[in-house]
């Protein structure tokens, strides 16, 4: 497997994808999707392309599960398909670790492993190995497939979705997975009223909308006639054992037994996670590795050293300057995965300066996006003007990235009646993203030349999350996980039903935009829906609550002994993976 020392971003090909949405748990919020296939294949993976999208049919039969494409180079996305790479082979191994264990090192502390709590990328990718939903989207594609559900249908009026569950599936504690378990799961979510699971469902359905029809059939009546299953959160929620919740309602998620997935929890802390194989899982070909371990290593150089020493098997965010040497050694696998993640500055619109329209527009001109990508990321990124990649639902070809124009920024700040320099606090996590600290230092320097006086505060991930959610910032460096459908990740919880701390709802301009978002999430004509999202982005472009910057390329490093591990977007799974050599 090869990559380049400065991997260029690949252009998304324009193709209509208007008929079907993406998983709720796209990058940035991955707890609920990408569970293992119901019936994984044992044959070597073969290349696939994204299917031609269609309007979600009624009834819809869950497609048979397939293995993701095997790629010998960094993945090149097909039209409207997120890149997926499966590591299949490489020569030589430097690790003396057990073949029973895979250790993955990433640069983010764990905040909780409560599947319905505050869960982000790092927690979500671990938890999808523990828990399973009714439905998932195949990694990097537009194809929904059943996991706990074998088929589903939407009512003629579009409001009710009925799921027929597979029989004979058991939780890790031996309890049967039934429709009552799904209802108990959602009873807990509605009682919590906090965390990502509740935030995804609020405003879309009420508890009374859940109906158990028989032990293996459940229906969800939504408040709106959604055009795609991607907007039906119960389809993607982690289903929990009622017995586990009853026996220990406050800490069941810290113990084995509560999920139906191929691994179960052993232990966790802010600095790591340990899971062990569920030996009773229905398909032993899924969990070939016994022990799944996650290790937090914040410093990129320390991560690289741990990989080179054989202490870990997989690392994320290989520094671009390390790539050529690691490839030349022949001792490592290097994969670059293009993402739909949009890095951006979230602006707190609830107070000065960004409660002023002109100040938010000034911030657009105050950042040199091209320099960030070229000089800091070494070309491993793509400047963007909007959340949707080209070829995705809502992409507006008329929106262009803002140029770096310090004079224009200063002029706008003065028009807002603000005294230069305008003091702001920029907060950032300390290690979540490629070149995280270097990027925010560069942004602070650029903004300081454009009429701002930036107080940069780099924070541990949990503290950053708390500050962001409580609106304790002026600007926050964040990742916007697009997925394929805009509503669950771009607008729900970020623009409307805000739980990211932007306070955009305090601005008069938010009201008509909210109305357009509601109209778009309920519009069943795909062309009209696409046009609505284009209009929303045009309305947000210069005075919205975010400064869009660039898309990342995630560069992964692996020991050669890791086989058949799947990567897409900024995440991974180990379903069907093995340790050899």
Residue range 114-135: mean pLDDT, rounded: 91
pLDDT of residue 85: 65
Residue range 380-400: mean pLDDT, rounded: 92
pLDDT above 90 covers what percent of the chain?
Answer: 64
Handedness of CA 218, 189, 261, 31 (dihedral sign): positive
Query: What is the DSSP code string of 185-253?
Result: HHHHHHHH--HHHHHHHTTT--GGGEEEEETTEEEEE-SS--SSGGG-GGGTSPP--HHHHHH-TTTGG
pTM for the whole structure: 0.74
Cβ-Cβ contacts under 8 Å for 338 (sequence gap 6 or more): 9, 10, 74, 75, 77, 83, 551, 553
Q: What SS3 class is residue 451?
A: coil
Q: What SS3 class is residue 434?
A: coil
Residue range 291-317: mean pLDDT, rounded: 95
Distance (Å, whole) CA 199 – CA 120: 13
pLDDT of residue 458: 97
33 secondary structure, DSSP code: S
Buried b (16+ CB within 10 A) or exposed e, 473-489: bbbbbbbbbbbbbbbbb
Give the residue ranges of DSSP H helices in 421-550.
436-448, 461-469, 486, 510-522, 526-540
Which range (463-467, 473-477, 541-545) has the least confidence?
463-467
Distance (Å, whole) CA 448 – CA 455: 10
Could you tell me which of 58, 60, 104, 75 has the C-alpha nearest to residue 7? 75
- Is-contact 106 122, C-beta < 8 A? yes
Task: Check whether 46 has a pLDDT greater than 50.
Answer: no
Distance (Å, whole) CA 396 – CA 536: 10
Residue range 234-251: mean pLDDT, rounded: 96
Query: What is the DSSP code string of 348-363?
Result: -TTSTTTTSHHHHHHH
Q: Which two tokens stand for residue 110?
A: 């764990």
Task: Check whether 233 has a pLDDT greater than 70.
Answer: yes
Between 27 and 174, the more confident residue is: 174
pLDDT of residue 12: 35
Residue range 558-567: mean pLDDT, rounded: 95
| pLDDT tens digits along 469-522 | 899 999 999 988 777 688 877 887 778 777 788 999 999 999 999 999 999 988
Element (H, E) at 315: strand 314-315
Which range (23-32, 82-91, 209-218) has the least confidence?
23-32
pLDDT of residue 86: 64
Residue range 375-389: mean pLDDT, rounded: 91
Between 539 and 203, the more confident residue is: 539
- Is-contact 304 557, C-beta < 8 A? yes
Q: Which two tokens stand for residue 453?
A: 């006086």
- Is-contact 294 142, C-beta < 8 A? no
Distance (Å, whole) CA 409 – CA 421: 11
Residue range 51-67: mean pLDDT, rounded: 29
2 secondary structure, DSSP code: B
Task: Check whether 156 has a pLDDT greater than 50.
Answer: yes
Neighbour-count burial of 190, counting CB atoms closer than 10 A to its CB (0-12 exposed, 13-18 middle, 19+ buried) = middle
Q: Which two tokens stand for residue 467?
A: 């500050």
Residue 571 has a CB neighbour count (10 Å cut-off) of 27
Residue range 221-230: mean pLDDT, rounded: 92
Residue range 302-323: mean pLDDT, rounded: 94
Which range (30-39, 136-145, 241-250, 497-506) has the least confidence?
30-39
Between 329 and 24, the more confident residue is: 329
Between 230 and 256, the more confident residue is: 256
94 secondary structure, DSSP code: -
Distance (Å, whole) CA 518 – CA 516: 5
HEC secondary structure over 552-565: EEEEEEECCCEECE
Task: Check whether 78 has a pLDDT greater than 50.
Answer: no
pLDDT of residue 142: 75
Residue range 6-22: mean pLDDT, rounded: 34
Distance (Å, whole) CA 97 – CA 456: 41
Task: Kindly list the distances between the CA atom of residue 519 and the CA atoms of 203, 401, 512, 529, in Å, as whole numbers in the listed order.
Answer: 14, 27, 11, 8
Bridge partners, 422 (sequence order) = 452
Query: What is the DSSP code string of 271-289?
Result: TEEEEEE-TT-S-TTT--S
Task: Check whether 416 has a pLDDT greater than 90.
Answer: yes
- Is-contact 452 470, C-beta < 8 A? no
Bridge partners, 153 (sequence order) = 162
Distance (Å, whole) CA 337 – CA 334: 10
Half-sphere exposure for 451 (CA within 13 Å, toward CB): 27
Q: What is the mean pLDDT of the chain?
A: 83
Q: Which fold has domain 340-552?
A: Dipeptide-binding Protein; domain 3 (3.10.105)
Task: Check whether 128 has a pLDDT greater than 80.
Answer: yes
Neighbour-count burial of 103, counting CB atoms closer than 10 A to its CB (0-12 exposed, 13-18 middle, 19+ buried) = buried
């Amino acid at each position: 497997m090869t990559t380049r020392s400065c991997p260029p971003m690949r252009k998304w090909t324009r193709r209509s994808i208007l008929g079907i949405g993406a998983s709720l748990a796209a990058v940035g919020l991955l707890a609920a999707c990408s569970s293992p296939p119901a019936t994984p294949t044992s044959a070597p993976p073969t290349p696939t392309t994204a299917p031609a999208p269609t309007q979600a049919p009624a009834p819809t039969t869950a497609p048979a599960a397939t293995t993701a494409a095997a790629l010998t180079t960094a993945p090149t996305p097909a039209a409207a398909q997120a890149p997926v790479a499966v590591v299949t082979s490489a020569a030589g191994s430097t690790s003396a670790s057990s073949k029973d264990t895979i250790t993955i090192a990433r640069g983010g502390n764990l905040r909780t492993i409560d599947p319905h709590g505050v869960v982000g990328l790092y927690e979500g990718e671990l938890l999808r190995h523990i828990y399973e939903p009714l439905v998932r989207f195949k990694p990097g594609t537009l194809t929904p497939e059943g996991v706990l559900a074998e088929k589903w249908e939407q009512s003629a009026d579009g409001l009710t979705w009925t799921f027929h569950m597979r029989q004979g599936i058991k939780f890790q504690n031996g309890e049967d997975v039934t429709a009552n378990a799904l209802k108990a799961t959602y009873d807990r979510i509605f009682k919590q009223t906090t965390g990502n699971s509740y935030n995804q469902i609020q405003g879309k359905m009420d508890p009374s909308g859940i109906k158990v029809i028989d032990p293996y059939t459940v229906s969800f009546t939504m408040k709106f006639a959604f055009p795609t299953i991607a907007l039906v959160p119960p389809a993607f929620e982690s289903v929990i054992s009622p017995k586990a919740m009853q026996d220990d309602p406050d800490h069941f998620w810290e113990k084995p037994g509560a999920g139906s997935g191929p691994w179960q929890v052993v232990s966790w802390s802010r600095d790591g996670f340990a899971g062990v194989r569920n030996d009773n899982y229905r398909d032993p070909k899924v969990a070939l590795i016994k022990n799944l371990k996650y290790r937090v290593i914040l410093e990129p150089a320390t991560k690289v050293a741990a990989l080179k020493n054989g202490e870990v098997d997989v690392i994320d965010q290989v520094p671009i300057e390390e790539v050529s040497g690691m490839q030349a050694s022949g001792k490592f696998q290097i994969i670059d995965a293009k993402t739909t993640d949009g890095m951006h500055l979230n602006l707190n619109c609830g107070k000065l300066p960004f409660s002023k329209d002109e100040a938010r527009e000034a911030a657009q001109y105050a950042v040199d996006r091209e320099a960030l990508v070229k000089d800091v990321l070494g070309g491993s990124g793509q400047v963007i003007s909007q959340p949707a990649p080209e070829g995705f639902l809502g992409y507006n070809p008329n929106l262009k990235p803002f140029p770096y124009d310090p004079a224009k920024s200063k002029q706008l700040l003065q028009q807002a009646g603000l005294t230069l320099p305008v003091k702001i606090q920029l907060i950032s996590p300390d290690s979540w993203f490629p070149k995280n600290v270097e990027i925010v230092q560069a942004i602070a320097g650029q903004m300081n030349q454009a009429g701002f006086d930036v107080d940069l505060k780099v924070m541990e991930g949990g503290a950053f999350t708390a500050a962001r959610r409580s609106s304790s910032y002026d600007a926050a460096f964040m990742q916007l996980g697009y997925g394929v459908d805009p509503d669950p990740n771009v607008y729900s919880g970020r623009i409307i039903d805000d739980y990211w701390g932007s306070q955009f709802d305090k601005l008069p301009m938010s009201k008509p935009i909210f109305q357009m978002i509601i109209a778009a999430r309920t519009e069943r004509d795909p062309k009209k829906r696409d046009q609505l999202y284009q209009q929303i982005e045009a309305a947000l472009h210069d005075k919205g609550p975010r400064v869009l910057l660039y898309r990342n390329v995630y560069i992964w490093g692996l020991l050669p002994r890791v086989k058949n591990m799947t990567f897409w977007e900024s995440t991974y799974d180990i379903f069907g993976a093995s340790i050899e050599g």
